[in-house]
Amino acid sequence: MLLPGSKENDTWSLGASTRLDSYRLALTPAKEGVNPAAFRAALTEGGPSFVDLLLTQNLGAWWHHCFQANGLLESLPRGVADALHQAHMAAAARYLAQRTALIHIDQLFEAAGISYAVMKGAHVRECAYPDPSLRLTGDIDVLVAAPDRRCAAHALLDAGYLVNADLATISHEACFTSSPVEIDLHWDIMRPGRTRAEMTAGLLARRRRVNGFWGLSDADALFLMLTHPAFAKYVCSPNMGLPRVADFLLWVQSRTIDWPAVMRLLEVAGLRTAAWTMLNWFRMLAAPAAGAIIDGWLNSLRPGGSRAHYLRFWLDHDLPSRWLNRPLLIQLGLTLFMHDRPSDTLHALRGWLRSRRNRGRDLRLLLGND
């Protein structure tokens, strides 16, 4: 295990700093009012591996759009231009398939009387990106009320989707696929017990219509960006990915933010500390305009001194990435400390135990015919 002040930690911090520089370059399109010349300069500064980073992080389509919109494609080496163009075409095809599925799901669920809301990337891209097809997402996340999970599941099965119910997450979600589309059906935003109170009913009550389907309200969407990745993606680990960072940066620069409403949601959920941790990661990658906004929010959420110092150590030394193949260390050493109170941590542990004990029951509640 790494200890503060060790030489191995110092070396790791240097590597993490280099990684942060590359990530900031990759997020250049998320900077408000960026000079078009900055895109070409970023490619030069990033070197040969930079295009690989853009492609592996699913940012190629967005970068191709930026070069195209600013008349800079001709300035790119042929191989680079072709690679970005292929990424753009693939993202457009994926979006078209997912968009068709979204309209179909809306029709299915509306006909069945199921209240639902699309969340995360498939929702955010419709509201914050210059073209939603630029935001590549692997699946569509759909939230329903827990009592509606079985009806929603059978509606998808009857429509030709195949179910993949992972017992590790059956307490709150299951995957349905109809190639090339994958639907993650949720009846809770995280494993039950992670939040101090049940959140799904409120999220569905405040949903809004967006581009032909139901999505979360603006405050709820931001609340989810500040909490879900803290536990599901381990804040700054490779599981997080840069598109989720781009979602947040674009959102705070393009939407009207009701921060008191977000604060109330975080308080109800008992996840102010998780949001503070996520905001620190976003702040490390943000341009000055977005950074100024984030700084004020960080001050309003800051946990006690020792906990703040401990959580910042995890980020500064990128321990979630270092220990990604040892998730128990992350769960015990990081995620439990992102609950606001000891009682919230105990509540989360009890929820974890219940989820393991009730796997069979939860599977029957989703797919049973009784």
CATH topology of domain 17-367: Beta Polymerase; domain 2 (3.30.460)
In the chain, domain spans:
17-367
Q: In whole angstroms, give the CA distance from residue 301 to residue 304.
A: 10
362: left (phi over 0), alpha (psi -120 to 50) or beta: alpha
End-to-end CA distance of the chain, in Å? 50
Q: Is the pTM of this model over 0.85?
A: yes
pLDDT of residue 12: 34
pLDDT of residue 370: 60
pLDDT of residue 34: 86
Helix (H) or strand (E) holding 162: strand 162-164
**Do β-strands 173-178 and 181-186 pair in parallel, antiparallel, or remain unpaired?**
antiparallel
Helix (H) or strand (E) holding 209: strand 208-210
Sign of the C-alpha dihedral computed for residues 326, 330, 332 and 333 taken in this order: positive
pLDDT of residue 17: 61
- Helix ranges (H only) for 113-159 are 121-128, 149-158
The first and second tokens of residue 135, run together, are 């935001």
**29 residue type, one letter:** P
The greatest distance separating any two alpha carbons of the chain, rounded to the nearest whole angstrom, comes to 63
Q: In whole angstroms, give the CA distance from residue 182 to residue 177.
A: 4
pLDDT in 10s for each residue of the chain, 370 residues: 333 333 333 333 335 568 899 999 999 999 888 888 899 899 888 888 999 999 999 999 999 999 999 999 998 999 999 999 999 999 999 999 999 999 999 999 999 999 999 999 999 999 999 999 999 999 999 999 999 999 999 999 999 999 999 999 999 999 999 999 999 999 999 999 999 999 999 999 999 999 999 999 999 999 999 999 999 999 999 999 999 999 999 999 999 999 999 999 999 999 999 999 999 999 999 988 788 889 999 999 999 889 999 999 999 999 999 999 999 999 999 999 999 999 999 999 999 999 999 999 999 999 987 6
Q: Do 251 and 221 form a contact (C-beta atoms < 8 A)?
A: yes
**Do β-strands 181-186 and 140-144 pair in parallel, antiparallel, or remain unpaired?**
parallel
